[in-house]
């Protein structure tokens, strides 16, 4: 039965994710969450990635007081980011995912929306860190998303799977003073990138 459930989930993923990459297809991503944990975020692979992400942030960017997590999904990585921060604001385009994230992480704040949502600036800016893990390849305009991340935070952290390196690496490499690290788990690999932004927040009023 477990094997059959796994096969059904894989078939659902193939169907639900058709045409969503680099496309801003928010409705399709929301439908994807009709199945709980469709990405397998509780797997050893993802738990390892969460831990490595936290280690990199802690080592190179310290422990941020306030984190903005883009593409928070159901809050699996949010729960890990809360271990290294005092306040977390998560956003996702899926209302289904956000509802589960609120249950999983009751001390965090979540909203349905994307990086262009103006409510972020009114309530939280500047963030100490803006995180976008495994989410850039579902955005149509990646350069605009990266620019918005830098506008909202003092530092940024992104990660992406190897199969999307060719598309994303040149866009991120154009940002000054970025640092790179490779995360590997068995036969799967990700690229992690972080940098401090140059925006002056000294005159910002919260």
Q: Give residue 199's pLDDT.
A: 74
CB 153 within 8 A of CB 131: no
The reported pTM is: 0.87
Instruction: Identify the three-state secondary structure at position 179.
Output: strand
pLDDT digit string (tens) for 35-92?
A: 787 878 999 999 999 999 999 999 999 999 999 999 999 999 999 999 999 999 999 9
Contact 46, 76 (CB under 8 A): yes
- What backbone torsions phi and psi does residue 154 show, to the nearest 5 degrees? -80, -25
Backbone angles phi, psi at 119, to 5 degrees: -60, -25
- Asked if residue 126 has a cis previous peptide bond (ω within 30° of 0), the answer is yes
Q: Which tokens go with 84?
A: 């290294």
Rounded Cα distance between 102 and 91, Å, is 11
- The string of pLDDT tens digits covering residues 91-105 is 999 999 999 999 999
């Amino acid at each position: 039965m477990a094997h059959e459930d796994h096969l059904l989930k894989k078939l659902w993923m193939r169907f639900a994710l058709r045409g969503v990459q680099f496309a801003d297809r928010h409705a399709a991503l929301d439908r994807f969450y009709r199945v709980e944990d469709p990405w397998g975020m509780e797997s050893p692979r993802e738990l390892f990635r969460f831990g490595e992400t936290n280690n990199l942030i802690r080592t190179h960017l310290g422990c941020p007081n306030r984190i903005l997590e883009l593409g928070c999904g159901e809050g699996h990585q949010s729960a890990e980011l809360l271990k290294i921060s005092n306040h977390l604001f998560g956003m996702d385009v899926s209302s289904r995912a956000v509802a589960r994230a609120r249950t999983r992480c009751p001390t965090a704040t979540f909203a349905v929306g994307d990086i262009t949502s103006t409510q972020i600036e009114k309530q939280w800016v500047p963030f100490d860190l803006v995180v976008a893990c495994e989410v850039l390849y579902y955005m149509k305009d990646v350069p605009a998303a990266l620019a918005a991340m830098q506008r909202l935070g003092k530092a940024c952290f992104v990660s992406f799977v190897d199969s999307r390196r060719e598309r994303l690496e040149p866009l991120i490499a154009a940002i000054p003073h970025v640092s790179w690290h490779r995360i590997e788990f068995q036969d799967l690999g990700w690229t992690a990138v972080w940098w401090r932004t140059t925006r002056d927040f000294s005159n910002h009023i919260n």
